[in-house]
Amino acid sequence: MISGFTLQHSIDSPMSSLWDYLVDFDHGHNWMPHVISLKRQDHGDLGRGSRLQATSTTGKLQDWRISYLDSGRSICLISKHLWADTAYTYSLSNTQSSQPLNQPQTSEIQLRLDCRTKGIVNLLRPFILWSLRRICQAQLANIQQHFQTFHKET
């Protein structure tokens, strides 16, 4: 059974800078709760099928795959677990359409999580979604916090 949710957060930044941070996977551990490292497992251009390996705080290795990429705007990371398959889709949009030019640029980041559970695990789906929502809320808050530091470095 598939279910999910969508969260949004505004960040004072141009979309292009926020995108660069989002796909700089060496910094992924800064904003992904329970991840201590995130490394690209292939070479070449980032795109559909690109592979990542995450190391969790428990030391477990997780293989992730990019299932969708609209460069500069949206990326979907697929993660398969024993108990569920998850798809994290990060989408960026510019919120500046009606603001004066002298205002700082603001971008909206939207995180859509889809979770597929099977069999007996379906009984735990409400708890799994509650837990994943908390993790995703922390991700968005962490992106804002750590992006400011990253942006100052570049």
Choose the weakest-confidence range: 8-17, 57-66, 93-102, 135-144.
93-102
Q: Which CATH number fits domain 2-153: 3.40.50.12140, 3.30.530.20, 3.40.50.2020, 3.20.20.370?
A: 3.30.530.20
pLDDT digits (tens, 9 = 90+) for 101-152: 666 789 999 999 999 998 999 999 999 999 999 999 999 999 999 887 776 6
Q: Distances from the Cα of 33 to the Cαs of 55, 65, 148, in angstroms?
A: 11, 18, 18
Structure tokens at 56: 């969790």
Structure tokens at 148: 């400011």
pLDDT digits (tens, 9 = 90+) for 36-50: 999 999 999 999 999
